[in-house]
Amino acid sequence: MRNDHHLIALFLISLNCLGLAQDKNVEKWGVYELSLPGPTGGNPFVGIEFSAVFKQGNQTFEPEGFYDGNGAFKIRFMPNAEGLWTYQTKSNYDALDNKQGQFICVPPSSGIHGPVRVRNQYHFEYADGTPFFPFGTTIYEWPFQSDTMQEQTIETLKTSPFNKVRFLVIPPWQEYYIEGSKVLTCFPFEGNSKENWNFSRFNPEFFRRLERCILELKKIGIQAELILFRPYDNGKWGFDTMDRATNDRLLHYVIARFAAYHNVWWSLANENSYIEHLTDEDWDHYFQVVQRCDPYHRLRSIHNADRIYDHTKPWVTHVSLQYYMAVRFFGVSPLLRDIYKKPIIHDEINYEGNRDRRWGQLSGEEMVYRFWIAYIGGAYATHGETIQRPNNPDWISVGGDLRGKSPERIAFLRKIVEQGPARGLDPIDQYYETNMAGQSGQYYLIYFGKESVKEWAFKLPQKGLEPDMRFRADVIDTWNMTITPVEQVFEIEKLNPYTYIDRKQSKINLPGKPYMALRIQRLQ
């Protein structure tokens, strides 16, 4: 594509002759923003249709625009290819209609890999083909905190293992947003209480703050999983009982504002079934609205409470699951993969903390154990921390700093996963050998969990193996974060239709304590 720059320059000259506006350059996967003055009277949030068709060659995208207050109507577009892009607006309001222009998309800055998508059915990659292995954390309310707190959260994230953050688009009702030091003054809609919301007018200031959070995450290479709807209201603000027209408008607005940012993921809801008046058919509808409005098809999921949505539906890109037992036992994630045939992210596996509720009292050991169980199952997990501090809500609520024992061990796991096969970890033999993942014939990660194993006879499932292949091994202490190479080369022979073993029937010594793993890698 870069060889075409001269041709593009020529093109531009000709297009200029045709009187098309030419704008500044935009990086590939960056955002081109078009701002036009529109009507300020009446309600500019309702009834103004506004979009633009962006074209390059056979590619066409039609993002919708949004009203950003002060008479400004904006359209944001993320080009996915270098070279010349042209656009033309469409609107039922004359001053916004039929505006044409063009811009040049230049190569991305170093370190920018583009949006994340599904690859190999069960995994993820960036648009440039770089694998993306999700290691998420949840900070539900961080967009609604003070600037200082948000800055602290970003600083914490920079040195954390986390590359995805889940958070709410709509603030949950909390006592501390009504009185105390965190009183909320800025809401998604005009108004400041249940009595005077104007659900047909958004508050652009609120969304600009949210936007800043997305951009801060983008800057440090972290995916922003926006949770679009949530139940946590207790009848106080009524943000969970809005009607379909309002919900639809909110979706259009959020997508128009944020979809162009390449680090955005959509989570339709947190604990969706706790929004009691919405049926699965309603969720089908909202998924389809997102699918239709988002021209880039950012990742789409939904997070369950007691009723699990049917993740086999075509608009669900990956499974976002809250089901704690699924990360307590080996083999469950492979089953989920086989059922859903999509990537599995255990987005809520209980939290490391000291809350008095049982979902918020995991030990660091248990959190790390559950992470390993998930990844060894060919799935992914999301961290959360509920270590309460005096006068300060915990990480999963507001962010700030991390105090748990799990994050550095999750970082250790992440390093192992990223040094592992680019295709990711897949179950090796999900019906019988449930504690093993990797890529058959090449790479095996074996996790012993809570078992205290003293030795491991070298033995691998037959798939992908041939006699005389050679392997090396490392003993991994997942808690103390050590990797100890085994001073031996293992050369295999077939034992039976299912199994290869080391020719010398070698065993690997293990320290007889829990949370140990083995890494077996083929020598070429």
Sole binder of a copy of itself in the list 358, 391, 487, 524 (CB under 8 A): 358
Establish if 335 lies at the interface with a copy of itself (CB under 8 A): yes
Which of the ranges 222-230, 382-390, 429-437, 448-456 carries the binding residues for a copy of itself, by CB under 8 A? 429-437
Q: How far is the CB of 392 from a copy of itself (least distance, A)?
A: 24
Which CB, 257 or 303, lies closer to a copy of itself? 303
Establish if 332 lies at the interface with a copy of itself (CB under 8 A): yes
Establish if 331 lies at the interface with a copy of itself (CB under 8 A): yes
Which CB, 334 or 404, lies closer to a copy of itself? 334
x/- binding map, residues 296-325, to a copy of itself, per CB under 8 A?
A: -----------xx-x-x----------xxx
Those residues with Cβ within 8 angstroms of residue 375's Cβ, 6 or more apart along the chain or in another chain: 381, 413, 417, 425, 437, 445
Query: DSSP assignment of 284-309, as one string?
Result: HHHHHHHHHH-TT---EE-B-SSS--
- Report whether 304 contacts 272 (CB < 8 A): yes
Q: How far is the CB of 485 from a copy of itself (least distance, A)?
A: 31
Rounded CA-CA distance 287/318 in Å is: 13
Quick one: tokens of 456?
A: 């491991």
Rounded CA-CA distance 313/393 in Å is: 37
Rounded CA-CA distance 433/447 in Å is: 11
Establish if 434 lies at the interface with a copy of itself (CB under 8 A): yes
Establish if 431 lies at the interface with a copy of itself (CB under 8 A): yes
Residue carrying the six token digits 């007691």: 306
Q: Map the footprint of a copy of itself across residues 377-396, applying CB under 8 A.
A: none
Nearest Cα residue to 460 out of 440, 434, 486:
440
Integer CA distances (angstroms), 73 to 33, 88, 155, 337, 348, in order: 10, 14, 33, 43, 38
Q: How far is the CB of 335 from a copy of itself (least distance, A)?
A: 6
Establish if 334 lies at the interface with a copy of itself (CB under 8 A): yes
Q: How far is the CB of 363 from a copy of itself (least distance, A)?
A: 15
Q: How far is the CB of 445 from a copy of itself (least distance, A)?
A: 18
Residue carrying the six token digits 């694998």: 131
Sole binder of a copy of itself in the list 1, 193, 329, 466 (CB under 8 A): 329
Which CB, 92 or 432, lies closer to a copy of itself? 432
Q: How far is the CB of 481 from a copy of itself (least distance, A)?
A: 28
Query: DSSP assignment of 292-359, as one string?
Result: HH-TT---EE-B-SSS---TTSTT--SEEEE-GGGGTSTTHHHHHHHHH-S-EEEEE---EE--SSGG
Those residues with Cβ within 8 angstroms of residue 214's Cβ, 6 or more apart along the chain or in another chain: 224, 226, 258, 261, 263, 264
Establish if 326 lies at the interface with a copy of itself (CB under 8 A): yes
Rounded CA-CA distance 469/494 in Å is: 11
Sole binder of a copy of itself in the list 430, 437, 448, 458 (CB under 8 A): 430
Which CB, 83 or 427, lies closer to a copy of itself? 427
Binding site for a copy of itself (CB under 8 A): 307-308, 310, 312, 323-326, 328-332, 334-335, 338-339, 357-358, 430-432, 434, 497-498
